[in-house]
Amino acid sequence: AQSALTAGALCFYSIGLVAYGWTKVLVMAHYAMKDAKTPVGLGALKVALNIALCFALIGPMKVWGLALAASISSWVCTGLLLWSMARKAGLDPGLGRDAAKPAAASVLLFAACFWLRTALEGRATPDWLVVLLCIGAAVPFYYGLSLLLDMKERRTILQMLGKGDSEAGPTV
């Protein structure tokens, strides 16, 4: 039972994993532009939103609501940081599309993990095996989504591993 709770929480946290990474990059970009005010203000907004969502979601979703609240608040903060950076630096309008691809992949990954966990829950599968299967299935599933969505991050990782097109150069 504890492993099922953990697997469910990991599924809900996975929704916000990409947003968490983007937030780290965008905060550093704001600092590089001598703007500490925006990330600090949005960080405070993220904490307030997370607290409000925790109170709203813990009742109906229990511990999973806490994980979902963290993911939602991460995406809101990331979106606002990206919008702010685009205004300040005149970023490429395609950046939103590039950010939407891993976001969509994260949501689909969550759905797949949640479905797998639910499908295995009623069987005589040990909890530790359910968690292991969810993690094991997540890697190839996300890689397949990165192929399907033609995500730049996948190409960069392959280039770093020496398996990609070396003439294309790294993509950001």
Backbone angles phi, psi at 25, to 5 degrees: -65, -45
Res 2: pLDDT = 82
Query: How many C-beta neighbours within 10 Å does residue 32 have?
Result: 9
> In which residue ranges of the chain is pLDDT below 50?
166-172
Query: CB within 8 A of 5, min separation 6: which ones?
Result: 62, 63, 64
Res 86: pLDDT = 84
62: DSSP letter: T
Res 134: pLDDT = 86
Q: Are 45 and 104 in contact (CB under 8 A)?
A: no
Res 98: pLDDT = 79
Res 94: pLDDT = 72
Q: Which two tokens stand for residue 46?
A: 């993220």
Q: What Cα–Cα distance (Å) separates residue 129 from each residue in 110, 118, 136? A: 18, 13, 10
What residue type is assigned to position 31 of the chain?
Y
Backbone angles phi, psi at 154, to 5 degrees: -65, -45
pTM of this prediction? 0.60
Res 124: pLDDT = 78
Res 164: pLDDT = 60
> What number of residues does the chain have?
172
Taking the C-alpha atoms of residue 145 and residue 79, their distance in angstroms, rounded to an integer, is 22
Element (H, E) at 43: helix 37-61
Query: CB within 8 A of 84, min separation 6: which ones?
Result: 30, 38, 42
